[in-house]
Structure 1
Amino acid sequence: MQRRISLIPQPQQLTAADGDLDLSTLGAIVTDGAAEAPELRSLAWLLSDMLARGTGLRLVVADAAEGPAIRIRLEGERPADLTTASEAYRLDVTPGGVAITAAHPAGIARAVATFRQLLPADALREAPAADPVVPLVSITDEPRLRWRGVMLDVVRHFQPKDFVLKMIDRAWMHRLNVVHLHLTDDQGWRFEVPSRPRLAEVASWRAETKIGHARDEEQGYEPTPHGGFFSISDLREIASYARERYVMIVPEVNLPGHARAVLAAYPELGAGQNKAVCPTFGVFEEVLEPTQAALDFALEAYTAIGEVFEGPYVHIGGDEVPMTQWESSPIARDLMDREGIEDVRGVQAWFTKAFCDHLVGMGKQVIGWDEILDGGAPAEAVVHVWRNEAYVKKAIAAGHQVIASPEPYCYYDHYEGDGAEEPLRIHGHTTVEKVAGWDPVPPGIDESKVLGVQCQLWSEYLPTPGDVEYAAFPRLAVLAEVAWTNLDVRQAEPVADRLEAHLERLHAMGIGYRPLEGPKPWQQGGTGRRERFDHTFVEHEAE
């Protein structure tokens, strides 16, 4: 009988052998060809640091060494970035040592993440707590989908930089390759733009926050200021930390809607309502007016964030933009007359095109929520589908590449279970089993048009890092497998059979995950401000 090795995501090919390798018998981590590919040395030291932290074993990194070693090598023609081939790897653990090979450094990064899971669970702790022993195994692996991400909302409740770094590390361990940062919304603006100081002074904090659910009118507001923002140096640190792990940061600056925080700082960019940063949650009618001043502001923000994060994508948001203000705006009417725009939705399309033109000029590719399809999205834009799978088909039919995050499967601000003890969520019911059974490529769709998948951690009802962890895990781990592993392998090796062992890893890492049987007493909603509040979740219908 083949030895059972429990990994998440499940590799495409895994052959186990009897026995283990004691890594303390090895002499070094050898980077073959580091002179031609200096990235290998950084990855080798990342592996060395990881082993030292969890097991106490410190292996030096060398260009050459005699005898048994961990040997890291690039071979074959280097594929393009963000292709499945760029993340393919081979990992062999034999009595004579460890061999990690790939054609691209990103593949080495994925192999190191897999190797991390081969170690005992206690080796994932922050201090030596396990022996440096791994099973003998041969793995050949390559992801199914190119884009495998998690979105962290740092706006509705600010999440500190240290926690963002932890989430990057956790994404890496699960072989995700994207962390999407939702940085702006009605409830706050979360990054520094030096040319716009009032974003940090005014837009980054709110005077109070709604207690309980936004729909629960019986509870009032907590009169404690809430806020925070990332400095340029913070953002550069986040970018560097992710880069070392071959995880791409995708920043989102969500405009022209969800603009209350912007307009609190610069009311002249809207219709002059002069309202404070929003203390509650929902969709609000305040939007940027279609003026040159508002457009200049948006382009300054996109320039600032695009210069920090060197990745090829910038997310422009574009969801839930009410038309109410534009319908009565003489400025919007003048624009429509001047540009020959027949429907008020074309005002949003005007903003979207301007954002795209600017970012393309910076060498970036634009991503927008599926509402950018309304009124016509630029052909080069990637459509991020959030409403449901019907919009995946609609976007592909319109010629766009798609990131699939349909709310029923990928919104982890939905309830994890149907029990009364679950803590407060927005609505819905998305179980581990539901995620595990999902195929992100709808029937009849060309898989090459689906760039990938992403789970969403909206933080209206996730006020602390612990709340985010409970919402994310283990659903994020299961989503990682959905994105990485081919359907036939998923069916042959159900993720449910490996979850219990994986929870030991999450525990060792200090992650406050939701147990499969339900929340621990201290994780429950109770009868206070975290009490469960239900209202019916109605799935959106495609237009």
Structure 2
Amino acid sequence: MQRRISLIPQPQQLTAADGDLDLSTLDAIAADPELHPLAWLLSDLLNRGTGLRLTVAGPDAGGRVLRLRLDTAADGGDRPDDLTTAAEAYRLDVTGAGVDLAAAHPAGVSRGIATLRQLLPADALREAPAAAPVVPHVSITDEPRLRWRGVMLDVARHFQPKDFVLKMIDRAWLHRLNVVHLHLTDDQGWRFEIPSRPRIAEVATWRAETKIGHAVDESHGYDGTPHGGHFSVSDLREIASYARERHIMIVPEVNLPGHARAVLAAYPELGAGEAKPVSPTFGVFEEVLEPTPEALDFALEAYTAVAEVFEGPFVHIGGDEVPTTQWESSPVARELMEREGMEDVRGVQAWFTKAFCDRLAAMGKRVIGWDEILDGGAPAEAAVSVWRNEAYVKKAIAAGHEVVSCPEPFVYYDHYESADPDEPLRIHGLTTVEKVAGWDPVPPGVDESKVLGVQCQLWSEYLPSPKDVEYAAFPRLSVLAEVAWTDPAVREANPVLERLDDHLERLHAMGIWYRPLEGPAPWQRGGTGRRARYDRAFTEHAVAEHAE
């Protein structure tokens, strides 16, 4: 009897046959030399979840094997780091004779391994042997629809420890995502060390306390408990190596020149106003970097620090929600505007953006920033994370930029999961799995080749712990993975919502604190305490007159 095959994301082409293959009957994993790191990783994962230990052999190994190979006849593009879908294409065949997984680049083999892991019983994803290493006979030909398929993890508002970051990389990998974006700095904390700037670790990485409940709810005070943490340079290198092994690109974000309260608490001389402590609450604050050589030197030092650790082509410069209040009254900013011929104070942000881009371009990096970098004109080579609404996708593309589509109403998973009064505290909004499943990240009339891809955001103002992040992320992230990977016609023919129950078994086996489809479990509810639901009206961002 043919076993039901239920994968997320759904491959572009899948043909099932009767029968199963017991991987314990195979002799080895036969792999091209370039694929040996992936082969050993697969061997370790099989051993962990099933107890099977397959040794790794060379490409000429005979017998019945699980074969990983590079297909030189396939066109995967010249540089997979440039995010070509062909680099991630693969073909996977499981028959009675063994397993054959072929791709033009190791990135494609890595995506095929993720699919192979989902073909195993769900219990094979556990941390100790709990399932037989059996997979169904199947033939899969697959390639992603979009080049950038990501998840943003905010470790700034609430610090998330390194081991959880590594787990999220694994979960992205299982869902065939290829980007993990780390939001490393904000008003509430700076999360990586700069050895030459000791006051970052001493001052900017922790706050004295945190607001209880929603930031706009004045009925609660503060918890009186210090909160902090940061990654050492060695931690960042470990994260980079872990992701590289799985062909996941880490995109580090240093959010400047706004959202700067934490760094200015450590180095107030870099700011345009009076010194204030690291913020214990959430929102948009007026503190910004002053446009001085000293502030610019610091910013460039910070970008250099992350660019040297993470070898991917992109560095995120943030650039969102930058108030101009302090610049409007700053003699330094006024002098800059006169010297540079700026007619509007928003040009000060553009001045910072250009300097960031110039430094990173000299290091061989591409800049990406939130869609506010369009104001005043972002450099043409910069990519844009569009977060406000889909009209800005069209604006960015019209200005010559590639776009990561991440509009708040569809991919901000700090929004409520349902109208259930028991949902735990969120910022506002409503983003159900059904809403995510019905979304197309390429707006009508847009050239799909200009859309790099899609990304969901896990802003952590109201996600204080890894369990809270997991509840907010899953299964919405799983559904988004399909939106990003699978062609619309394939999605329509086999709706992802009909496969979610099967996929939740995998999430359970992995120990993920996911939200059940019927609503929060009793121990996940907000209750009446500090995690109680607080309803606040959400209004989508207005479309600027020039956004179309």
TM-score category by the smaller chain? Answer: over 0.9
Write the distance in 2 (CA, Å) between the matches of 1:29 and 1:491.
36
Write the distance in 1 (CA, Å) between the matches of 2:270 and 2:46.
52
How far residue 4 of structure 1 moved from its aligned partner, in angstroms, is 3.1
Residue of structure 2 in register with 1:108 after alignment? 109
1:343 and 2:311 are equivalent in the alignment: no
Pairing 1:1-400 to 2, within 5 Å after superposition: 4-31=4-31, 33-34=32-33, 38=34, 40-63=35-58, 64-76=60-72, 77-79=75-77, 80-81=79-80, 82-400=83-401
Does the CA contact (< 8 Å) of 1:4 and 1:16 recur in 2?
no
Write the distance in 1 (CA, Å) between the matches of 2:276 and 2:520.
39
Write the distance in 2 (CA, Å) between the matches of 1:4 and 1:52.
24
SS of the equivalent of 2:18 reads strand
How far residue 78 of structure 1 moved from its aligned partner, in angstroms, is 4.6
How far residue 2 of structure 1 moved from its aligned partner, in angstroms, is 7.6
How far residue 395 of structure 1 moved from its aligned partner, in angstroms, is 0.6
Residue of structure 1 in register with 2:475 after alignment? 474
Residue of structure 2 in register with 1:521 after alignment? 522
SS of the equivalent of 2:272 reads coil
Q: Deviations over 1:454-475 (max 9, x none)?
A: 0000000000000000000000
Write the distance in 1 (CA, Å) between the matches of 2:126 and 2:278.
40
How far residue 91 of structure 1 moved from its aligned partner, in angstroms, is 0.3
Write the distance in 2 (CA, Å) between the matches of 1:72 and 1:321.
48
Q: Higher mean Cα deviation, 301-310 or 3-12?
A: 3-12
Gaps of 5+ in 1: none
Write the distance in 1 (CA, Å) between the matches of 2:114 and 2:3.
21
SS of the equivalent of 1:377 reads coil
SS of the equivalent of 1:209 reads coil
Count, aligned residues: 538
How far residue 298 of structure 1 moved from its aligned partner, in angstroms, is 0.1
Write the distance in 1 (CA, Å) between the matches of 2:362 and 2:427.
38
How far residue 195 of structure 1 moved from its aligned partner, in angstroms, is 1.1
How far residue 271 of structure 1 moved from its aligned partner, in angstroms, is 2.3
- The verdict on how the C-alpha distance between 1:401 and 1:233 changes in structure 2, with shifts beyond 3 A counting, is same
Write the distance in 1 (CA, Å) between the matches of 2:71 and 2:52.
28
Write the distance in 2 (CA, Å) between the matches of 1:515 and 1:144.
28
1:418 aligned partner, one-letter code: A
Write the distance in 1 (CA, Å) between the matches of 2:498 and 2:44.
31
1:521 aligned partner, one-letter code: P
Residue of structure 1 in register with 2:408 after alignment? 407
Write the distance in 1 (CA, Å) between the matches of 2:52 and 2:226.
46
Write the distance in 2 (CA, Å) between the matches of 1:483 and 1:209.
35
Does the CA contact (< 8 Å) of 1:264 and 1:275 recur in 2?
yes
Q: Deviations over 1:128-175 (max 9, x none)?
A: 000010000000000000000000000100000000000000000000
Does the CA contact (< 8 Å) of 2:350 and 2:378 recur in 1?
yes
Write the distance in 1 (CA, Å) between the matches of 2:393 and 2:167.
31
SS of the equivalent of 2:118 reads helix
Pairing 1:489-508 to 2, within 5 Å after superposition: 489-508=490-509
1:161 aligned partner, one-letter code: K
Q: Deviations over 1:339-397 (max 9, x none)?
A: 00110000000000000000000000000100001111111110100011111011111
TM-score by length of 2: 0.97
Write the distance in 2 (CA, Å) between the matches of 1:383 and 1:164.
24
How far residue 65 of structure 1 moved from its aligned partner, in angstroms, is 2.5
SS of the equivalent of 2:250 reads strand
Does the CA contact (< 8 Å) of 1:3 and 1:17 recur in 2?
no
Gaps of 5+ in 2: none
Write the distance in 1 (CA, Å) between the matches of 2:61 and 2:486.
35
Q: Deviations over 1:18-51 (max 9, x none)?
A: 11001110000001x31xxx2x000000110110
SS of the equivalent of 1:100 reads strand
Does the CA contact (< 8 Å) of 2:272 and 2:327 recur in 1?
no
How far residue 274 of structure 1 moved from its aligned partner, in angstroms, is 1.1
SS of the equivalent of 1:435 reads helix
Write the distance in 2 (CA, Å) between the matches of 1:272 and 1:225.
25
Write the distance in 1 (CA, Å) between the matches of 2:128 and 2:315.
37
1:16 aligned partner, one-letter code: A
Q: Deviations over 1:232-282 (max 9, x none)?
A: 000000000000000000000000000000100000000241100000000
Does the CA contact (< 8 Å) of 1:155 and 1:189 recur in 2?
yes
1:41 aligned partner, one-letter code: H
Does the CA contact (< 8 Å) of 1:27 and 1:65 recur in 2?
no
Write the distance in 2 (CA, Å) between the matches of 1:78 and 1:414.
38
TM-score by length of 1: 0.98
1:382 aligned partner, one-letter code: A
How far residue 209 of structure 1 moved from its aligned partner, in angstroms, is 0.3
Write the distance in 2 (CA, Å) between the matches of 1:174 and 1:231.
28
- Identity, % of aligned pairs? 80
1:68 aligned partner, one-letter code: R
2:51 aligned partner, one-letter code: G
2:49 aligned partner, one-letter code: G
Write the distance in 2 (CA, Å) between the matches of 1:204 and 1:136.
51
2:365 aligned partner, one-letter code: K
Write the distance in 1 (CA, Å) between the matches of 2:393 and 2:174.
28
How far residue 3 of structure 1 moved from its aligned partner, in angstroms, is 5.6
1:422 and 2:423 are equivalent in the alignment: yes
Write the distance in 1 (CA, Å) between the matches of 2:140 and 2:467.
34
Does the CA contact (< 8 Å) of 2:76 and 2:84 recur in 1?
no
Pairing 1:424-463 to 2, within 5 Å after superposition: 424-463=425-464
2:154 aligned partner, one-letter code: D
Does the CA contact (< 8 Å) of 2:29 and 2:67 recur in 1?
yes
How far residue 515 of structure 1 moved from its aligned partner, in angstroms, is 0.2
1:173 aligned partner, one-letter code: L
SS of the equivalent of 1:233 reads helix
SS of the equivalent of 1:101 reads strand
2:359 aligned partner, one-letter code: H
Q: Deviations over 1:48-89 (max 9, x none)?
A: 011000000000000032211101110125522110000000
Write the distance in 2 (CA, Å) between the matches of 1:133 and 1:178.
30
Q: Deviations over 1:439-461 (max 9, x none)?
A: 00000000000000000000000
Does the CA contact (< 8 Å) of 1:92 and 1:99 recur in 2?
yes
Write the distance in 1 (CA, Å) between the matches of 2:216 and 2:421.
18
Write the distance in 1 (CA, Å) between the matches of 2:382 and 2:63.
52
